[in-house]
Structure 1
């Protein structure tokens, strides 16, 4: 299933306030990795709001901070538990939030990432898979 292509701008102050409200502190170096934009991680045609993971909690590893939005509406932040369903080819846990709609993460494919992967493979076709 293709990944939803909805995007939204992340207000830096809003993200900082959400992180501070959730864990009480944040290092400036950690903020360097926060996204300026989010892209919905759910499968195309999902129900409800768009969602993208934006922060892992230091104090609560079973939950994460997610950006949630409806197109044309302000983005908001919500702490949600991880989906713990196991599956896919590696039997890994789903990397979406609990109770997400539609497919689990291993069944959702980003066409941009797939195109980049194909380009890298083509550009480096002469590189051996194993070191000699």
Structure 2
């Protein structure tokens, strides 16, 4: 399943703007939704993790072009067949992270395989599909 392509712009927080030198206002940043394309109308992106404790993942959530909010959310407890954890929050509204394919990562991989096939023996016949796809994990490690 392809990753959602929604983007949110996050203006710098007021306290950061207040600390910036005169004439050097921090720029607005952007985040990309990390959920699978089949999710509901609320998008999500991980901003940072504070040590793996329950609720330690700080996520930004947004709907459409509306206001983005920050939320500490617990990690999804699901494990793939290789015992790797899902990289999303608990009760996320889409497939687990190992089933979500990042189209940008796939495009870069295809380009690298085309230009340096000897570096990617796991891709036979120019197939730039990720090695992990063969076992249903979406190539996530």
Q: TM-score, normalised by structure 2?
A: 0.68
- Whether 2:109 is the aligned partner of 1:117: answer yes
**Structure 2 segments unaligned to the other structure (5+ residues):** 17-27, 122-141
- Structure-2 change in CA distance of 1:72 and 1:92 (3 Å): same
Residues 15 and 77, structure 1, Cα contact 8 Å, conserved in 2: no
- In structure 2, distance between residues paired with 1:117 and 1:15: 40
* Structure 1 position 127, deviation (Å): 4.4
Residues 11 and 36, structure 1, Cα contact 8 Å, conserved in 2: yes
- In structure 1, distance between residues paired with 2:14 and 2:74: 20
- Whether 2:64 is the aligned partner of 1:71: answer yes
- Whether 2:53 is the aligned partner of 1:53: answer no
* Structure 1 position 91, deviation (Å): 2.7
**What are the residue-to-residue correspondences of 1:1-132 with 2, within 5 Å?**
1-13=1-13, 36-58=29-51, 61-62=53-54, 63-88=56-81, 90-127=82-119
* Structure 1 position 70, deviation (Å): 0.4
* Structure 1 position 15, deviation (Å): 9.9
Residues 113 and 119, structure 2, Cα contact 8 Å, conserved in 1: no
**Higher relative contact order by CA 8 Å / sep ≥ 6: 1 or 2?**
1
Q: CA RMSD in A?
A: 2.4
- In structure 2, distance between residues paired with 1:128 and 1:8: 34
Structure with the greater alpha carbon radius of gyration: 2
- In structure 1, distance between residues paired with 2:110 and 2:15: 34
